[in-house]
Amino acid sequence: GEQVEQRPPHLSVREGDSAVITCTYTDPNSYYFFWYKQEPGASLQLLMKVFSSTEINEGQGFTVLLNKKDKRLSLNLTAAHPGDSAAYFCAVSNQGGSAKLIFGEGTKLTVSS
């Protein structure tokens, strides 16, 4: 079945620095890709959802890149601030029914001021 590997498990950066989290997946039929953010003591919340037809997706303060050839998904926070400190999870699903998200192992990001 699908496997999603996420790196790094821990990431510490200073305020204003960029932070990059990468996921690789195995199933070539994967079609929908998600980034979820989990702040300490809070539930997971969707950060961005991307589809396999779009390679670059920009949000507020971050960019999501999808490389289907390499089966690689990345989240790039361009200028991190302490409020970005959280756990980040990538997740992958295919086009079929019965939504079954396969999650990466998560990255704990710490942004120091």
Alpha-carbon dihedral angle through residues 88, 92, 93, 95, given to the nearest 10 degrees: 120
Closest separation between CB of residue 109 and other proteins, Å? 12
Which residues 4-63 are close enough to bind other proteins by CB under 8 A? 31-32, 34, 36, 41-46, 49, 51
Closest separation between CB of residue 64 and other proteins, Å? 15
Closest separation between CB of residue 59 and other proteins, Å? 14
Q: What are phi and psi of 31, to 5 degrees?
A: -130, -30
Q: Tell me how far apart the alpha carbons of residues 97 and 86 are, in angstroms, rounded to a whole number.
A: 31
Binding of residue 93 to other proteins (CB under 8 A): yes
- Residue count at the site for other proteins (CB under 8 A)? 27
Which amino acid is present at 76? Answer: N
**Interacting residues with other proteins (CB under 8 A):** 31-32, 34, 36, 41-46, 49, 51, 87, 89, 93-101, 103, 105-106, 108
